[in-house]
Chain A
Amino acid sequence: MEIVLALAIGILTGSGVWLLLRPRTFQVVIGLSLLSYAVNLFIFVMGWVRGGVAPFTEGGPAVDPARFADPLPQALVLTAIVISFAMTALLLVVLLAARGLTGTDHVDGREPEE
């Protein structure tokens, strides 16, 4: 399980960084989105990935708390998701404004000279 998550985070980060460095604004937005998915997964993994334990126990024998995944990073991820979602939306608006005002989708607002 860990290796799958680690690979996923690595691939997302790699693709995100590559796209972030591309010259077109849309690629930058997608790159930032991929990076934020990678970071969200990363925070999630910080709470450990464990299976086979019921999330709640009622009555029954007490379960060793060390067998549970830490719930706090999961709460942090929720906050991070909301914030990065809102920021991506804001960046999209600025992207559209830049496209409209400069007439190009290059990040510098003008086409590079050949």
Chain B
Amino acid sequence: MSWNDHLVVLPVVLPLAVGAAMLLLNESRHALKAAMSFASIVALIGAAVALLGAADSQPVRVYPLGGWPAPFGIVLVADRLSALMVLLAAVLALAALAFSLARWHRAGPRFHSLLQFMLVGLNGAFLTGDLFNLFVFFELLLAASYALTLHGSGTARVRASLHYIAINLTASLLFLIGAALIYGVTGTLNMADLAMRIPGTASADVVLLEAGAAILGVAFLVKAGMWPLGFWLPATYAAASAPAAALFAILSKVGVYAVLRLWLLFFGGAVGNELLLYGGMATLAFGLIGVLASQALGRLAGFSLIVSSGTLLAVIGTGEAAATGAALYYLVVSTLGVSALFLLLELVERSREPGADILAVTAAAFLGADEEEQEPPEEVGVAIPAAMALLGLSFACCGLLVAGLPPLPGFVAKVAVLGALLAPEPVPPSAWALLALLSLSGLAAIIAMGRAGVRIFWATQRSVPRVRVIEMAPVALLLGLCFALTVAAGPAMRYMQDTAQALYSPRAYIEGVLGR
């Protein structure tokens, strides 16, 4: 095995090692930890880009853990979709880390380690080729997300995370029931092996198998925030600290990823697609109303995330490979956009209640913190001039992105999705309904964002917030990536379409894993 082959396991092992090593360091060595965290994430981005670049020459890379061949051992599988998601997670982590360096990483203990452990869970969930291993990585990323929700402490965060933890623990139990049922029927946990065996299930067992898959699906859809399972999402994400919330933007996409991967692999998209389609549309409607009704900015961003989940689930539920490709492009764009929005909101809120966030940050350190941590954290970096103008511009960009208006890639994504929806002859009525909902959700987003923007930026009484370069840079990075995705929409869309085609014809995946 050459070094290049170990690239697949790197996104799991590297953050695990770095995160564990940072646990040994004293809590006060912020600079060293930040440097380690930064180095790890940059290396992850490099690895993800390498995986992405190699996807054309070698679409399915299999890494047998411990050298045990599939289906007996656990395998990691890097294909186009996995590489894309790993890259997206690493980019969001970079933005969250840079943003936290201004102050948030001192607001509570072990922020950097938790960030790395979250990446372990995310990357593992994206790369694994084993159903039970997927559960373990889910638990890992959830455990890190519980702690990150609590990062900064405070009554609102503790209250929100109590609900968040209870709901996700229940969802994890459902995951176990579903996985156990599927194992009981098929006798394997390897995803590729499952895909081979499921078509040959004895007819007496089909009901049991489909019940197991449905229970498994509920666990993923809770994560993805599908209506009516996603009621916890806006409250939790609004309560989380800004860098944590920015990283959480990809958490709901983990649910979407799992649905996409397993549903297409096991059933080829033939079972339960109405549920995804109409459930996604209901989610879209729920998010649309929520966006319009939100007063607090954090909830607005949370509901935007629900709109994005609903769009994805509904479009995936149409069962068209072309629509799925467009949905993947939308997934990347909307995740970047909502993540930038979460970061930006904290900066914007600062202009409305001067000093309030600093109080929140210091109040954070109270729970079980050391004496020196109770000092108000100093701000790092240089304050930028014309902060208000920059914030306003970024806010407008986020608004255009979330609403899907030109010239940002939200528009490209929506046009691609609509084009794929209206392609089949005759166009099914559900596609028209989805089209109407998608247009309405864009309208709702632009109304809500416009209203919030007027309230924030055209208010008569406000102070100019002190914004640091290190806080503005991640927002600019995420928005800049979105601009790059508009310019490179052609190659990006081609990659997404290839990904969708590979998902709809999983023969290469199965043969790659099982080696036959």
Contacts of A7 in B (CB 8 A): none
- Chain A contact patch, size range: 20 to 34
Report how far A32 CA is from B163 CA in the complex, Å. Answer: 13
Contact A42 B170 (CB under 8 A): no
What residues of chain A lie closer than 8 Å to B159, measured between beta carbons? 98, 101-102, 108-109
In the complex, the answer to whether B169 meets A87 with C-beta atoms within 8 Å is yes
- The 8 Å CB contact of A39, one of B165, B166, B176, is B176
Chain B residue nearest to A109 (CB atoms) is: B159
Q: How far is the CB of B8 from chain A (nearest CB, A)?
A: 22
Chain B: interface secondary structure? helix
Q: Is the CB of A43 within 8 A of B180?
A: yes
Query: Is B199 an interface position by the 8 A CB rule?
Result: no
Contacts A39-B176, A46-B180 hold; do A91 and B169 have CB atoms under 8 A apart?
Answer: yes
Instruction: Judge whether B162 and A32 touch: CB under 8 Å.
Output: no
CB 8 Å contact bits of B346-377 with A (1 = contact, 0 = none): 00000000000000000000010000000000
Q: Are A43 and B162 in contact (CB under 8 A)?
A: no
Contact of B181 among A46, A72, A97, A102 (CB under 8 A): A46
Does B454 have its Cβ within 8 Å of any Cβ on chain A? no
The answer to whether A42 and B177 have CB atoms under 8 Å apart is: yes
Q: Which residues of B contact A69 (CB under 8 A)?
A: none
Chain B residues near A109 (CB-CB < 8 A): 155, 158-159, 162
Residue of A nearest to B138 (CB): A83
- Which residue of the partner chain, among A39, A46, A72, A95, contacts B162 with CB atoms under 8 Å? A95
How distant is the Cα of A102 from the Cα of B158 in the complex, in angstroms?
Answer: 9
B384 located at the interface, meaning its Cβ lies under 8 Å from any Cβ of chain A in the complex: no
Cβ of B183 and Cβ of A46 under 8 Å apart? yes
Which residues of A, 19-78, contact B by the 8 Å Cβ criterion? 20, 25, 28, 32, 35-36, 39, 42-43, 46, 70, 72-73, 76
| Contact for A76 among B132, B155, B161, CB less than 8 A | B132
Kindly state whether residue B407 has any CB partner on chain A within 8 Å. Answer: no
Nearest chain B CB to A105's CB is how many angstroms away?
Answer: 11
Type the 1/0 row for B144-188, where 1 means its CB is closer than 8 Å to any CB of A.
001100100111001101110110011011001101110110010
Give the shortest distance, in Å, between A85 (CB) and chain B (any CB).
Answer: 12
> Is there a chain B Cβ closer than 8 Å to A3's Cβ?
no
Q: For A83, what are the chain B residues with a Cβ–Cβ distance below 8 Å?
A: 136, 139, 172
Q: Please pick, from B139, B173, B184, B367, the residue contacting A46 in the complex, using a CB distance under 8 A.
A: B184
Cα–Cα distance between A35 and B175 once the two chains are bound (Å): 13
A97 to B170, CA, bound (A): 21
Where the two chains meet, the residues of A that have a C-beta atom closer than 8 Å to any C-beta of B are: 20, 25, 28, 32, 35-36, 39, 42-43, 46, 70, 72-73, 76, 79-80, 83-84, 86-88, 90-91, 94-95, 97-98, 101-102, 107-109
29 sampled A-B residue pairs with Cβ under 8 A? A25-B162, A32-B173, A36-B169, A39-B173, A39-B176, A39-B177, A42-B177, A43-B180, A46-B184, A76-B180, A79-B136, A83-B136, A83-B139, A83-B172, A84-B172, A87-B143, A90-B143, A90-B147, A94-B150, A94-B158, A95-B162, A97-B153, A98-B159, A101-B155, A101-B158, A101-B159, A102-B155, A107-B166, A109-B158
Q: Residues of B with Cβ closer than 8 Å to A? A: 132, 136, 139, 143, 146-147, 150, 153-155, 158-159, 161-163, 165-166, 169-170, 172-173, 176-177, 179-181, 183-184, 187, 189, 367
Top 10 A-B pairs, shortest CB-CB distance: A46-B184, A109-B159, A43-B180, A101-B155, A46-B180, A39-B173, A98-B158, A97-B158, A39-B176, A83-B139
